[in-house]
Structure 1
Amino acid sequence: MKVAKATDGAAMMFSPLIAAGRLNVAAAIRTRRRGYSGWTGAVNTDYDPLDPAVAAQPHAAYDAMHRSGRVHYNPRRATWILHRLDDVRAALRDTDRVTSSEGVTRIRVVADLVVLTDGEQHSRLRKQVHPAFTKGALDSWRDIIDSLAAELVDDMIASRGCDAVELLTTPMPLRVIAAILGVPESDIADFRRWSDESTQIINFTPTVKGFVNTTRSLRAAAALRRYFLKQLADGHLKDSDTVLGRLLAHNSDGALTDNQLFYIAILLLIAGNETTTNLLGGMLHTYAHYPEQYDMIRANPDLIPQAIEEHVRYTSPIQNLYRYTRADYQVGEVTIPAGSRVMLSFGAANRDPLAFDDPNTFRADRNPRSHVGFGYGPHLCLGAPLARMEAQAVLRELVSRVSRISVTGPTTWSTNSSLRGPTRLPVVLHE
Structure 2
Amino acid sequence: MMERKTTASIRKTAQKATEALQPVGNAVRMNVTAAIRTRRRGYDGWTGAINTDYDPQNPITAAHPFDAYRALHRGGRVHYNPRRATFIVSRLDDVRAALRDTDQVTSSQGVTRLRFSAPLAVLTDDDEHTRLRRQVQPGFSRGAMKSWQAMTEKLATELVTDMLNAAECDVVQRLAIPMPIRLIAQILGVPDTELSDFRRWSERGVGVMELRPTPSGVVDAAKSMAAMIALQRYFRTHFAAGKLKGSDTVLGRLLEHNTDGSLTDRQLMLIAIHLLIAGNETTTNLLGGMFDTLARHPDQYELIRANPDLIPIAVEEQLRITTPIQNLYRYTRADYRIGEVTIPNGSRVLLSFGAANRDPAAFEDPDMYRADRDPRKHIAFGYGAHMCLGAPLARMEAQAVLNELVARVSRISPDGPTRWSSHSSLRGPTHLPIRLTPV
Q: Deviations over 1:385-417 (max 9, x none)?
A: 000000000000001110111111111100000
Query: Are 1:211 and 2:218 counterparts?
Result: yes
- Structure 2 length normalisation: TM-score? 0.94
Partner of 1:345: 352
Cα distance in structure 2, aligned partners of 1:36 and 1:253: 48
Partner of 2:263: 256
The RMSD of aligned alpha carbons is: 1.5
Cα distance in structure 1, aligned partners of 2:34 and 2:300: 44
Q: Deviations over 1:268-289 (max 9, x none)?
A: 1232101000000000000011
C-alpha deviation, 1:238, in angstroms: 3.3
Query: Are 1:29 and 2:33 counterparts?
Result: no
Cα distance in structure 1, aligned partners of 2:73 and 2:288: 26
Q: Secondary structure at the match of 2:30?
A: strand
Cα distance in structure 1, aligned partners of 2:412 and 2:210: 31
Partner of 2:368: 361
Q: Deviations over 1:345-393 (max 9, x none)?
A: 0000000000000000000000101100000000000000000000000
Query: Are 1:47 and 2:54 counterparts?
Result: yes
Query: Are 1:172 and 2:172 counterparts?
Result: no
Q: Pick one of 302, 308, 312 that aligns with 1:301.
A: 308
Cα distance in structure 2, aligned partners of 1:355 and 1:207: 39
Flag the 1:190–1:283 CA change in 2: closer, same or farther, 3 A: same
**CA contact 1:26–1:108 (8 Å) conserved in 2:** no
Once the two structures are overlaid, the 10-residue window that deviates more, 33-42 or 395-404, is: 33-42
**CA contact 2:42–2:85 (8 Å) conserved in 1:** no
Tell me which stretches of 4 or more aligned residues in structure 1 moved more than 6 Å.
none
Partner of 2:321: 314
Q: How many residues align?
A: 422
C-alpha deviation, 1:237, in angstroms: 2.6
C-alpha deviation, 1:195, in angstroms: 1.1
C-alpha deviation, 1:26, in angstroms: 3.3
Note the residue ranges of structure 1 that are not aligned, 5 or more in a row: 1-10
Q: Deviations over 1:183-232 (max 9, x none)?
A: 10111111111111112212222222221111111110101011111111
C-alpha deviation, 1:36, in angstroms: 8.0
Partner of 2:407: 400
Partner of 1:324: 331
Partner of 1:387: 394
Query: Are 1:291 and 2:295 counterparts?
Result: no
Partner of 2:19: 15
Q: Secondary structure at the match of 2:313?
A: helix
Cα distance in structure 1, aligned partners of 2:188 and 2:106: 29
Q: Secondary structure at the match of 2:243?
A: coil
Cα distance in structure 2, aligned partners of 1:31 and 1:300: 51
1:79-98 matches, cutoff 5 A: 79-98=86-105
Query: Are 1:239 and 2:246 counterparts?
Result: yes
Identity over aligned pairs, percent: 65
Cα distance in structure 2, aligned partners of 1:31 and 1:347: 24
Cα distance in structure 2, aligned partners of 1:177 and 1:47: 35
Cα distance in structure 2, aligned partners of 1:71 and 1:322: 14
**CA contact 1:16–1:23 (8 Å) conserved in 2:** no
Partner of 1:423: 430
Flag the 1:387–1:38 CA change in 2: closer, same or farther, 3 A: closer
C-alpha deviation, 1:130, in angstroms: 1.0
Partner of 1:201: 208
Partner of 1:161: 168
Flag the 1:149–1:95 CA change in 2: closer, same or farther, 3 A: same
Flag the 1:148–1:38 CA change in 2: closer, same or farther, 3 A: closer
C-alpha deviation, 1:251, in angstroms: 3.0
Partner of 2:119: 112
C-alpha deviation, 1:29, in angstroms: 2.8
Cα distance in structure 2, aligned partners of 1:32 and 1:287: 43
Partner of 1:184: 191
**CA contact 2:204–2:224 (8 Å) conserved in 1:** yes
Cα distance in structure 1, aligned partners of 2:420 and 2:155: 25
Q: Pick one of 368, 378, 383 that aligns with 1:371.
A: 378
Cα distance in structure 2, aligned partners of 1:247 and 1:40: 46
Q: Secondary structure at the match of 1:335?
A: strand
Note the residue ranges of structure 2 that are not aligned, 5 or more in a row: 1-10
Cα distance in structure 1, aligned partners of 2:225 and 2:340: 41
